[in-house]
A and B are shown apart, each in its own frame.
With several copies, the nearest count.
Chain A
Amino acid sequence: MQFDSFAAFLFMEGHGPYVWTCYAVFTLALVGLAWWSLKQRTAVIRQQYHAQLRAERRQASADAHTATDGSGTPAASFSRIHPS
């Protein structure tokens, strides 16, 4: 240990604020980046999971419709909208 006391360690003969801001920003940036990267990965997995469920549901209802329409897609009606 180069320093006599913890206070001296923090103060660093006046250079403490500079050194510690640097280390703080460095740590925050790296931790933030790591956290963001991990979160993104789980978010992507979750999002795709729900997309798969949705697609299956849509497929099921489309299968029910094909009997009437043939295409399974909602046709353009161009009829006016009258919301209540």
Chain B
Amino acid sequence: MTAKLQAATTVPVGVVAAMGGVVRRDLQASFRQPQDLLNPLLFFMMVVTLFPLGVSPEESFLRQSGSGILWVAALLSTLLSLDHLFRHDFDNGTLEQLVLQPQPLYLLVLAKTLAHWLVTGLPLVLLAPVLAVMLHLEGNSIAILCLTLLIGTPVLSFIGSVGAALTLGLRSGGVLLSLLIIPLYIPVLIFGTGTVAAAAGGASVGAYLALMGAFLVLSVTLAPFASAAALRISLSNS
């Protein structure tokens, strides 16, 4: 590998390869620190178990509010994990290097957010059926619930990435991040639980799912732009 020592005129590593690199590296780092992986999951489980304990263990209550509880819990665990999305990388300088990579930043941010979802959102979707059974939800509702979580949790990650990027250098990070993001999460929450309620009421859920799909497409395409802009701002300030 002899150095060419003249301005390179091509970007030899393709965008897709670079995005793959980002995902692989983030997954690697997460699996090295398993407690980072498990924390959101444990949190999710705990929030869900708190309701039978703290509110009421009655089957009718749980059946009625189970899907709402699972959704709120999923939302909160995503929120909890968002603080880590960029902060470690910011502190150790990896983020600077990401911004300086010769690929469009918003694609790299997209890859990073995707990795975040794979680590925090997906396990939660996989765990949801178990918890749903514990909350006495019915088979059909459980299937719909998991489907809405599967569509909805990436939306949460992507919207959240904007907040994480905006609050990056700031000391009051965690709480501030939640303040900025929770209002934006509300439509997802409403339609997520709404879909399950519609299914339980026997209505057709096609339209609801289409709407959630629209949220997903919107957030995946737009949020990385906003996050990339916010990251540049935060880095300028550090």
Contact = CB atoms under 8 A, between A and B. Distances in A.
Contacts, number: 6
Interface in B1-17: 1-3
A33 to B, nearest CB: 16
A50 interface: no
B187 to A, nearest CB: 30
A82 interface: yes
A82 B4 CA distance: 11
Nearest to A82: B2
A41 interface: no
A80 interface: yes
- Chain B contact residues, majority secondary structure: loop
A48 B1 CA distance: 38
Contacts of B2: 82
Contacts of B3: 80, 82
Interface residues of A, number: 4
Interface string A23-46: 000000000000000000000000
A82 B21 CA distance: 24
Nearest to B3: A80
Nearest to B1: A83
Interface in A36-84: 80-83
Contacts of A81: 1
A25 B47 CA distance: 27
A80 B2 CA distance: 9
A59 to B, nearest CB: 30
Contacts of A80: 3
Nearest to A83: B1
Contacts of B1: 81-83
Nearest to B2: A82
A40 to B, nearest CB: 14
B211 to A, nearest CB: 38
List the 6 shortest-distance A-B pairs measured between CB atoms, nearest first. A82-B2, A83-B1, A80-B3, A82-B1, A81-B1, A82-B3
Interface of A: 80-83
6 contacts: A80-B3, A81-B1, A82-B1, A82-B2, A82-B3, A83-B1
